[in-house]
Amino acid sequence: MKNVVVEKSIEVALLIIEYCEKLEVSKKFVISGQLLKSGTSIGANIKEAQNAESRADFIHKMKIAAKELEETKYWLRLCEQSKNYPTDTILVNKVRELGLIIYKILSSSIKK
């Protein structure tokens, strides 16, 4: 059975890697490094949450994924608003979609 949040997080991570490679070609190393770390960490934390030891552990790991998502959105927003950085609308939309899934999972997990 497919796990939508895991699949979406992998899709986002691969898009982040591609985008960061473009940034590095343009010598935008600082933002690229920050974005690469936060953008790929989302999925790593989601994957860890799949093997959580308890509901509390699951929620904790998903909250870390949400924090990494917010950091990723921050770096992407800086890139969007800077005249010297490329904008990747598809990536921004995919990150937003992943965020909706993460926050829905957190919302339903905390309510139980």
Q: What is the pLDDT of residues 36-73, one digit of tens each?
A: 999 999 999 999 999 999 999 999 999 999 999 999 99
Question: CA-CA distance, 2 to 34, in Å (whole number)?
Answer: 30
pLDDT band of residue 112 (cuts 50, 70, 90) is low
Q: Is the pLDDT of residue 31 over 90?
A: yes
Q: Is the pLDDT of residue 88 over 80?
A: yes
Alpha-carbon torsion 86, 98, 77, 68, what sign?
negative
The CATH number covering residue 36 comes to: 1.20.1440.60
| Count of structural domains, the chain | 1
Instruction: Judge whether 101 and 4 are in contact, CB under 8 Å.
Output: yes
pLDDT band of residue 111 (cuts 50, 70, 90) is confident
20 is in which domain, residue-wise?
4-111
